[in-house]
Structures are given as C-alpha cells and as structure tokens.
Amino acid sequence: MATETYNPRDYDTLPSLHDSATEFVKRDAEAVLDSDIRQLFSDFDASLSQKYGVALLHKHFPIEPTQRLVEFHNTATPWSIKESKKGAAFPHRDGFLVPRAFRFDGTDSSEAKPYEFSFTYEEPKPLTDTEVAFFKSFWTIIIGFQLQNVLGICALGHEPEKDKYQLEITEGKANIMIKGDSVPNSSIIQAVWSFTPDADSKIVKRKCVGGCYAVDQMHGYGTHDYEPDDC
C-alpha cells in the first residue's frame, strides 16, 4: 500500500543520478525490466499500464525538509509546504498536491513511499485494491533483485502533448521537460519506462518515455558508462 504521509528522508536519501545509473548496469536491471517487471504489467489490467511506469530513482538536487518537489506543466520545483501538512495528498491553494513517484526501500514492508508530487485540479482518489496488489507485487520483484534503491514507480501523466517532452534538464532548482531533439543518445540516461500492451498481439512492450541529460552540471555527476539504446 502507499503511505498516507510524506517523510522528507524519502527524498533526501535518494541516490545520485550517476550512482543509480551505475547500479542499474551493475545489477542488470534492464533484464529485470524485460522479464519480471514486464510480466507484472502483463498480469494486471491494462489500465495500470496507462497510469503507471517505472522510474530510475535519483535525486535532482537537495531541498529543505519543509519543501516538496512538485511538478506542474512539465516543470518540477521545490514548493514550501507548512509543517502541519504531513499528508501524502491534500488540498493546496486552489487544487491538490498528489504523489507522482514512489520508492520501496523496506525489506520487511511493501509500503510505497512518495518522494515527488504533482499539482492537479483533480481531487485525488484512494488506491484501488488492484493498485495495492500491483504495488506489492512490484515491491516483491525489486526486493528479490536488490533493486530497491534503483527502481520505483511513477505516474505517467496525461497532460496535452506530454509525449513531446521527454528529456529532463535542470536550470537552477527547476527540472524542466523539453523535446531534446538535438541531444545525442550518448548524452541521455533513460529514467522512465512505460509498459504498454500491443493493440494486436497484446504483448507488453517496454519503451523509454523519459530521460535525463547526463552531462547537466546541476545534476553534478558528469558522464559515465551507461549508454541508452532507445530513448
């Protein structure tokens, strides 16, 4: 299940982009994406494939304990939140803050811990029993392959033209999704994958739908040996 509160530690202890990408290769996480995790999406209702993807866990930059990283219109920035607001989802200004990314770092608990959020005008709904079962099954897989500090679950979102903006860059303390058409694949680290059933064969296919600019100075991690193949 997903926790009903936010703990700043769940963001603060995220690995760096470099460390997470290195562990991704070291632990052969791509093979797990194409086997157990792809089968997981195949086993559950197709609506979950439309709603959720898998994310490479990493921290973009440090934020204060009283802040949360919030995405709105393809840009994520730290928002100051009153300390009295401990909930994972709650009314804020004229809308709502809702979790958009979860990590599962407990070996004895399948609790999904939110670490990034979205601002939305749609009132959040509790997780369904199917979603809870899906999250628990995902936790079982990543614990079994020791990927709890490498992979998490994220909401894919369905903002207009969102598919056009698949490269994340950082300016100051703002993560911005751009088209990135001129950026070579060698400078991109895959960071978000979708798993979609083929309309004809029903076979679930994995696709990179989001990446990070690997040499972005604000990430502070430079280049490394991880080479994307289809982002």
100, pLDDT greater than 60? yes
Question: CA 11, 36, 33, 154 torsion: positive or negative?
Answer: negative
Q: What is the mean pLDDT of the chain?
A: 87
* Higher pLDDT, residue 225 or 126: 126
Confidence label for 230 from pLDDT (cuts 50, 70 and 90): very low
Cβ neighbours of residue 2 closer than 8 Å, sequence gap 6 or more = 88, 99, 102, 111, 112, 113, 114, 127, 132, 135
Note the pLDDT tens digit of each residue in 158-206: 665 667 788 998 888 999 999 988 888 888 999 999 999 988 777 899 9
Note the pLDDT tens digit of each residue in 213-223: 886 533 433 33
pLDDT at 160: 56
Q: What is the Cα–Cα distance from 99 to 7, expressed in whole angstroms?
A: 12
C-beta of residue 102 within 8 angstroms of C-beta of residue 3: no
109, pLDDT greater than 90? no
Residue 170 host element (H or E): strand 167-171
pLDDT at 226: 35
Single out the residue of 155, 161, 83, 159 nearest to residue 121, CA to CA: 159
pLDDT at 162: 64
pLDDT at 167: 92
Confidence label for 79 from pLDDT (cuts 50, 70 and 90): very high
* Higher pLDDT, residue 106 or 76: 76
Note the pLDDT tens digit of each residue in 26-73: 999 999 999 999 999 999 999 999 999 999 999 889 999 999 999 999
**Count of CB atoms within 10 A of residue 9's CB?**
12
Residue for token pair 């972005």: 216
3-class SS of residue 208: strand
Note the pLDDT tens digit of each residue in 121-143: 999 998 999 999 999 999 999 99
